[in-house]
Structure 1
Amino acid sequence: MPDYRRLHVKGACWFFTVNLQQRQQTLLIDEIYLLKLCIKQVHQLQPFTINAWVILPEHMHCLWTLPDGDEDYSGRWRAIKKAFSRALASTEYRTASQLQRGERGIWQRRFWEHQIRDDADYLRHLDYIHQNPLKHGWVTRVQDWPYSTFHRYVAQGYYALDWCGDTNMSIHGDA
Structure 2
Amino acid sequence: HIDDMRKSFKQVPQNHPYTLDAIVNMPDHLQCIWQLPKDEANFSTRWRWIKVHCSPLMNKGGIVNKSRQKKGARGIWQRRVGEHLMGDNKDDAQHIEYSHYHPVNHGHVDHVVDGKDSSFHQCVDQGIYPSHWAAADALINLGLK
Whether the 8 Å CA contact 1:39–1:80 is kept in 2: the answer is yes
Whether the 8 Å CA contact 2:61–2:76 is kept in 1: the answer is no
Q: Does 1:54 align with 2:24?
A: yes
Report deviation, 1:107: 1.1
**Cα deviation per residue 1:138-165 (whole Å; 9 max; x = unaligned)?**
2212112121111222223221110126
Matched residues in 2 for 1:146 and 1:123: separation?
21
**Which amino acid in 2 is paired with 1:122?**
D
Counterpart of 2:53 in structure 1 is 83
Unaligned runs of 5+ in 1: 1-30, 171-175
Higher alpha-carbon deviation: 67-76 or 105-114: 67-76
Report deviation, 1:135: 1.1
Counterpart of 2:85 in structure 1 is 115
Whether the 8 Å CA contact 2:33–2:96 is kept in 1: the answer is yes
Matched residues in 2 for 1:64 and 1:128: separation?
14
- Give the structure-2-normalised TM-score: 0.85
Counterpart of 1:34 in structure 2 is 4
Count of aligned residue pairs for this structure pair: 140
Out of 105, 120, 123, the position equivalent to 1:153 is: 123
Q: Does 1:168 align with 2:129?
A: no
Matched residues in 2 for 1:92 and 1:81: separation?
14
Unaligned runs of 5+ in 2: none
Matched residues in 2 for 1:156 and 1:91: separation?
36
Matched residues in 1 for 2:100 and 2:63: separation?
31
Higher alpha-carbon deviation: 64-73 or 107-116: 64-73
Bigger share in helix: 2
Bigger share in strand: 1
Report deviation, 1:169: 7.2
Matched residues in 2 for 1:84 and 1:108: separation?
14
Query: Percent identity of the aligned residues?
Result: 38
Whether the 8 Å CA contact 1:163–1:169 is kept in 2: the answer is no
Report deviation, 1:167: 4.6
Matched residues in 2 for 1:155 and 1:93: separation?
38
